[in-house]
């Protein structure tokens, strides 16, 4: 049985993805948006998990298949226009500032619908996140006089930025920390972080100037910065790449007539979209641009599209079948591999080999490791086969999306682009590149990783 | 650490009950949510909501030893065992 509803338009995602404590503007936006939706009598389908887009042979997007988490029932939402607002995919890395739900589900849906993603190797790293947890130790810590030290207690920023020291820009500090960790001067059992030293500022300064940071450090790093240095590591923060769109939020793809032809009936806004305004390194505060400008533009364009396309296209025969098959796969046999273990390994590979520094040989080794993880996914199974609130199945479906995104990130490095953006540095045998300006964009596509195709546009 | 967690599977026909769990976890610096995530790796039928994991979104509001709290900002250390978690 599959429940079916018809809509003029359907919005997939939202629900506070990527919302963060220090981001009061975003918080206020979210509440305003929610209230405006209540006023407009928007019908929410809470606790639904979007599985796949439904697309016909002509390329029209006709809606989505989604899973009702509470009942385990699949639903088909038929709509003349679909807008994806599914947020980022920071959970593809081990250290991320993103929420646990940021698994890039809209990106997975787009890839499975045969559409490409753009600039997927461009991930922004914030230099000082608490390892594992990902909470940010704001730049204000270093602004107040805090500084970074390595395993040997050395204030290493004196070597990387002799003048600006710890107050230099995010990408420089991230690269410096990465170099220290790489050189074996990282701290902790696994040597995977450095320390942010604040205790010399005195309890009074920390209590009055950095109270929130102190609370976060005590809460999430288990150390009081008044006495002990706080572990920090470069932490994935934002995805500059994503679903390619034009200025109206319409998803674009090379189809029949040109390289950026609008996919009829499909829109994407927010972090999941790549309008390309952020280039290879988004500036602080600019993520709201995705919503305030381009989401509004999409909202203004959709009625036009609906007016020009007044009748729904018939659903293709296969309709929701691919999505249902994907769902059924997790209902069946208990596999030898576990979803949590595969996810942890994928996150480790991304973190270690696709981080701030990307060495050619390490990238190549990483893709071999990732291929192995993908093969393990085929042997993965669940113990829980219940229908009601089966979150194990949701996590498995999220991992399917994350693995596609990991593959897309990796593949964007070859053969299209040999240069890098400011947020990561590409190291080849002959040269190190750091500029991304004026370079071609990379596209990654393919429903299955083994049949992926990659391209660059002029 | 020992946990007692409220479980209910309406498909089984049985009513709700408390299930005991034992978890080998270093409590220092860890939250109740960390324990729940680790327990879910042992028993993937354990279902709970979570999202931001830093006390903002409110998804993981649960009752811990009789007190309503967010699991992601409730430290494990200092909690009386077995830690009783209810919806």
Q: Closest chain B residue to A102 measured between Cα atoms?
A: B51
- A436 pLDDT higher than 50: no
**Chain A, 375-414: which have a CB under 8 Å from a chain B CB?**
382-384, 386-392, 395
Write out the two tokens for A258: 């040109």
Segment A40-70, tens digit of pLDDT: 999 999 999 999 999 999 999 999 999 999 9
Of A373 and A220, more confident? A373
Distance CA A218, CA A281 (A): 31
CA distances in angstroms from A306 to A60, A266, A278, A303, A365, listed in the order given: 13, 11, 29, 5, 48
Q: Closest chain B residue to A27 measured between Cα atoms?
A: B56
For residue A359, give every residue at least 6 positions away whose Cβ sits within 8 Å of its Cβ, in sequence order, or none: A427
Write out the two tokens for A141: 């810590």
Distance CA A331, CA B36 (A): 23
Confidence of residue A431 (pLDDT cuts 50, 70, 90): very low
- A377 pLDDT higher than 50: yes
- A7 pLDDT higher than 50: yes
Q: Which of A4-8, A12-16, A68-72, A382-386 has the lowest mean pLDDT?
A: A12-16
Interface membership of A302 toward B (CB under 8 Å): no
DSSP state of A380: B
Per-residue model confidence (pLDDT) at position A17: 36
Which one of the listed residues A55, A142, A170, A417 is annotated catalytic? A170
Per-residue model confidence (pLDDT) at position A359: 85
Confidence of residue A438 (pLDDT cuts 50, 70, 90): very low
Distance CA B72, CA B35 (A): 10
Per-residue model confidence (pLDDT) at position A22: 35
Per-residue model confidence (pLDDT) at position A220: 87
Distance, in angstroms, between A152 CA and closest chain B CA? 24
Per-residue model confidence (pLDDT) at position B83: 98
Write out the two tokens for A115: 């559409």
Distance CA A381, CA A325 (A): 15
Distance CA A191, CA B71 (A): 29
Per-residue model confidence (pLDDT) at position A36: 94
For residue B56, give every residue at least 6 positions away whose Cβ sits within 8 Å of its Cβ, in sequence order, or none: A19, A20, A21, A27
**pLDDT tens-place values along chain B, 87 residues long:** 999 999 999 999 999 999 999 999 998 878 999 999 999 999 999 999 999 898 888 999 999 999 999 999 999 999 999 999 999
HSE on the CB side for A244, CA within 13 Å? 22
Distance CA A240, CA A280 (A): 6
Distance CA A243, CA A445 (A): 11
Sign of CA dihedral A5, A9, A12, A16: negative
- A3 pLDDT higher than 60: no
Q: Which of B29, B48, B55 sits opposite A221 (nearest CB)?
A: B29
Per-residue model confidence (pLDDT) at position A211: 84
Q: Which of helix, strand or coil describes residue A382? A: coil
Q: Which residues of A touch B54 (CB under 8 A)?
A: 20-21, 133, 135, 216, 220
Distance, in angstroms, between A434 CA and closest chain B CA? 32
Of A17 and B46, more confident? B46
């Amino acid at each position: 049985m599959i429940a079916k509803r018809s809509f003029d338009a359907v919005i997939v995602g939202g629900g506070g993805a990527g919302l963060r404590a220090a981001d009061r503007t975003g918080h206020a936006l979210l509440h305003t948006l929610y209230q405006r939706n209540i006023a407009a009598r928007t019908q929410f389908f809470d606790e639904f998990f979007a599985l796949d887009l439904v697309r016909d042979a002509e390329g029209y997007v006709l809606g989505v298949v989604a899973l009702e988490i509470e009942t385990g029932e699949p639903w088909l939402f038929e709509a003349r226009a679909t807008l994806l607002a599914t947020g980022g995919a920071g959970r593809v890395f081990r250290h991320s500032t993103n929420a646990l739900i940021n698994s890039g589900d809209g990106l997975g849906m787009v890839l499975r619908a045969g559409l490409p993603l753009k600039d997927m190797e461009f991930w922004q790293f914030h230099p000082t996140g608490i390892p594992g947890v990902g909470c940010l130790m704001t730049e204000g810590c270093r602004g107040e006089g805090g500084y970074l030290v390595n395993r040997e207690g050395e204030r290493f920023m004196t070597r990387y930025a002799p003048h600006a020291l710890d107050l230099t820009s995010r990408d420089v500090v991230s690269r410096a920390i990465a170099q220290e960790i790489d050189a074996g001067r990282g701290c902790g059992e696994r040597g995977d972080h450095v320390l942010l030293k604040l205790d010399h500022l005195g309890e009074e300064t920390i209590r009055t100037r950095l109270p929130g940071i102190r609370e976060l450090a005590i809460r999430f790093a288990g150390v009081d910065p008044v006495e002990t240095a706080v572990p920090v590591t470069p932490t994935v923060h934002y995805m500059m790449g994503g679903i390619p769109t034009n200025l109206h939020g319409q998803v674009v793809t090379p189809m029949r007539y040109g390289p950026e032809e609008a996919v009829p009936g499909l829109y994407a806004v927010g972090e999941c979209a790549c309008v390309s305004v952020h280039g290879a390194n988004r500036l602080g505060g600019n993520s709201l641009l995705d919503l305030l400008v381009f989401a509004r533009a999409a909202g203004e364009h959709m009625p036009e599209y609906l007016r020009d396309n007044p009748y729904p296209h018939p659903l293709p025969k296969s309709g929701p079948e691919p999505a249902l098959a994907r769902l059924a796969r997790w209902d069946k046999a208990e596999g030898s591999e576990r979803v949590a273990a595969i996810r942890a390994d994928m996150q480790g590979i991304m973190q270690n080999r696709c981080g701030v520094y990307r060495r050619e040989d390490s990238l190549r080794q990483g893709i071999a490791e990732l291929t192995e993880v993908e093969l393990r996914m085929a042997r993965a199974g669940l113990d829980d086969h219940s229908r009601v609130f089966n979150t194990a199945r949701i996590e498995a479906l999220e991992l399917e999306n994350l693995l596609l995104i990991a593959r897309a990130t990796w593949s964007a490095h070859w053969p299209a682009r040999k240069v890098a953006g400011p947020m990561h540095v590409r190291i080849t045998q002959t040269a190190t590149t750091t500029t991304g300006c004026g370079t071609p964009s990379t596209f990654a596509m393919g429903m299955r990783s083994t049949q992926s195709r990659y391209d660059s546009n002029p | 650490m020992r946990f007692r967690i409220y479980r209910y599977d309406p498909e089984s026909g049985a009513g709700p009950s408390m299930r005991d769990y034992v978890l080998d976890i270093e409590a220092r610096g860890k939250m109740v949510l960390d324990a729940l995530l680790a327990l879910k790796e042992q028993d993937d039928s354990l279902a709970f909501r979570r999202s931001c994991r830093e006390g903002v979104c409110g998804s993981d509001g649960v009752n811990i030893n009789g007190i309503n709290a967010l699991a992601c900002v409730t430290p494990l250390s200092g909690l009386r065992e077995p830690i009783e978690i209810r919806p």
